[in-house]
Amino acid sequence: MGHVDHGKTSVLDVLRSANVVSGEFGGITQHIGAYQIESHSNKLTFIDTPGHAAFTEMRARGTQLTDVVVLVVAADDGVKPQTIESIKHAKAANVPIVVAINKCDLPEADPQKIKNQLLEYELIAEDLSGDTLMVEISAKTKLNLEKLVESILLQAEILDLKTDFESKATGVVLESKIDVGRGPVANIIVTTGTLKKGDFFVSGLKWGKVRAIINDKGKNINEAPPSTPVEILGINGAAKAGDDFIVLDNEKEAKLLSESRAEEAKVGKNPLSFATQESAFSSKSAEELNLIIKSDVHGSSEAIKNAISQIKHEEVKPKIILADIGMVTETDVTLAKASNAVLIAFNVKPSKEAKKLAENEGIKISSYNIIYEVLDYIKKRMSGLLMPDVKENISGNAEVLQIFKVSGAGKVAGCKITEGEINSTSDVRLIRDGNIIYTGKVSTIFREKNQVKNVSNGQECGITIKDYMDYQKGDIIEAFNITSKERTI
C-alpha cells in the first residue's frame, strides 16, 4: 500500500518478473489479482489490491487476508495523505508494516527524512531504536529488492504464522468475471486447507464444483495449498470480490447452503455477517471501544481527543483509530464497519455518498456539536461493553427423604425444607454427595397431594424437577436465583 506514484506497481512488477524469468514457467503470467513468488523455498503471495480502499472493504466483509502490509514510500517525496491512510488502515487491522523506501536511486532521495517523518506515526526504524523493518530500495535499479523480501519473511517469522494444510479449503474471492467460452471465473486465495479439483463449494450466494484450478503462472494444477492465489472454473455465477469460499462435503450441502444464503439475502439479512463477527474485529479486544471522530477544525479535534484521554476505566478503554478534520466520507464509514467502531461527526456532516453507504451498511453516524455530549455518548457506549454485575442468591434448601410415585406426575422427591424457601418457579440444583448432578427448574410442589406455590423452612413436601426423575434419598435440592445489573462508567 502507499501513496499514488510512489512505486507500488513497479516494485511488484520487478519482484514478479524476476521470479517469472528465473522460474520454470517461461514468463507466461495470468492476471488474477495476486502473485506468488518464491524466495529460498519460501512462498510469498502479494495481493495486488489497488489501495487501501479495497483492503478496508475486504476487512469490512470479514476478511483478514493480509498478514503483512508493505508500505511503499518514495524517498524523494515523503509521507503523503495516502501513506497516512494506509498506515491507519493497517494499524486498525493489526497488521504489521514493513516499509519499503523506494526511489533511492534518485539524487534527491532522502531516506533518513522519511524515517523521521514516519516517527510521528509510531513507525520507528531499527536504526532509530524501533522495531519497524524499513528497507531502502529502488524498483528502477533493483537495489535491495532481495533484502525487502527477506524483511517480509523475517516479519512473517516473527508473527509465527501457522495454517492447516489438511482440512477442507476455505478462501476469499479477489475478483470474478464471466469469461466468453469458459463461463464464470473466480479468482480466489486459499486461506486454509487444500483446495482440490472436484471439490464442492459455496462462495457468497453461489455454489459449484471445482472444474479447473489455474495458478498465477497460467498453469493447470490439481491442488492449491494455503495462501495460493488461483483461478477457479465451475462456479454457477459471478461471485463478488471479498466473498468467502468454503468447500463442503458434497453437492447437496453446497446447494443447501447457497439456497439458504439466497433466502436470507432476499429478506434483507446479510448472509455473510457471521464472518464479520468472528474475524474482522480481531484487532479489537472485548474491552476496547474503537472510535472514529471527524470534526470541523483542528481545535475541536484536539479538545475531543484530550477529553477522551481522560476517560479512565479498568475494564474498558476508548481507542481512537481515526481523528481527523473534514466531512464524514465513504472511507470513514467503511473503516467504521471494518473496525466495529463508533463513528462520530462533530460539527460536520457526512457526504451524500457516505450517508447512503452508512444507511446501506447499517452504520450509525452520531452527530454532535457539544463536546460533553460526545463524551456522554462515548461513556454510554463503553458502558455497553461492561459485563453486567451478576449475583447468585440461594433462596432455600431441601433434603430428599424418600422417593414415591404419583400417577400422572411420575417420580416425586419427598423432601423436608431445611433452609429458606422454595417456590414453584424456582431455579434449582440437585446436589448429591457435594456434586451438582442436575440444574433445572421446579416443575411442581405438593403438600398433602395439593399443588402449592411455595414451601418454607421446616415444612415437608413433594417436589418434581422439570425433565428430571432420578432423585435419590439424601439428595439436596437447592433453590437459587440470579440477578443481573447493568453497570455504567
Q: What is the binding site for ligand GDP (CB under 6 A)?
A: 2, 4-10, 102-103, 105-106, 138-140
Is the CB of 50 or the CB of 388 nearer to ligand GDP? 50
Is the CB of 56 or the CB of 102 nearer to ligand GDP? 102
Is the CB of 139 or the CB of 442 nearer to ligand GDP? 139
| Least separation in angstroms between CB 260 and ligand GDP | 41
- Sign of the CA dihedral with 88 first, then 91, 93, and 95 last: positive
DSSP 147-173: HHHHHHHHHHHHHT----SSSBPEEEE
Rg (CA), the chain: 30
Cell digits of residue 196: 482440490
Antiparallel, parallel or unpaired: β 450-451 and 170-179 = unpaired
Under DSSP, the state recorded for 255 is: H
Number of CB atoms found within 10 A of residue 5's CB: 13
Do the Cβ atoms of 399 and 474 come closer than 8 Å?
A: yes
Strand stretches in 105-251, DSSP E:
134-136, 170-179, 183-192, 195-196, 200-203, 206-215, 220-221, 223-224, 229-235, 244-248
**Residues, the chain:** 489
Instruction: Give dist(CA 51, CA 48) in Å, integer.
Output: 8
Instruction: Give dist(CA 207, CA 256) in Å, integer.
Output: 9
Instruction: Give dist(CA 131, CA 110) in Å, integer.
Output: 20
Do the Cβ atoms of 282 and 94 come closer than 8 Å?
A: yes
Instruction: Give dist(CA 327, CA 305) in Å, integer.
Output: 17
| Least separation in angstroms between CB 82 and ligand GDP | 9
| Least separation in angstroms between CB 140 and ligand GDP | 4
Is the CB of 48 or the CB of 199 nearer to ligand GDP? 48
| Least separation in angstroms between CB 89 and ligand GDP | 16
Is the CB of 103 or the CB of 206 nearer to ligand GDP? 103
| Least separation in angstroms between CB 75 and ligand GDP | 8
Under DSSP, the state recorded for 277 is: I
- Closest CA relative to residue 192, chosen from 244, 241, 236: 244
Q: What angle do CA 87, 90, 96 make, to 5 degrees?
A: 100
Helix axes 371-383, 298-309, angle to 10 degrees: 40
Is the CB of 151 or the CB of 301 nearer to ligand GDP? 151
Is the CB of 2 or the CB of 234 nearer to ligand GDP? 2
Instruction: Give dist(CA 367, CA 413) in Å, integer.
Output: 61
| Least separation in angstroms between CB 101 and ligand GDP | 10
| Least separation in angstroms between CB 25 and ligand GDP | 23
| Least separation in angstroms between CB 141 and ligand GDP | 7
Number of CB atoms found within 10 A of residue 30's CB: 16
| Least separation in angstroms between CB 12 and ligand GDP | 8
- Provide the β-strand partners of residue 230: 188, 215
Is the CB of 175 or the CB of 332 nearer to ligand GDP? 175
Is the CB of 105 or the CB of 253 nearer to ligand GDP? 105
Q: Provide the residue type at 218 as one letter.
A: G
Is the CB of 63 or the CB of 138 nearer to ligand GDP? 138
| Least separation in angstroms between CB 135 and ligand GDP | 12
| Least separation in angstroms between CB 18 and ligand GDP | 14
* Residue 408 backbone dihedrals phi, psi, to 5 degrees: 90, -25
Give alpha helix (H) positions in 120-250: 145-159
Is the CB of 140 or the CB of 349 nearer to ligand GDP? 140
Sheet containing 288-295: give its strands across.
317-325, 288-295, 342-346, 365-368
| Least separation in angstroms between CB 49 and ligand GDP | 11
Is the CB of 140 or the CB of 441 nearer to ligand GDP? 140
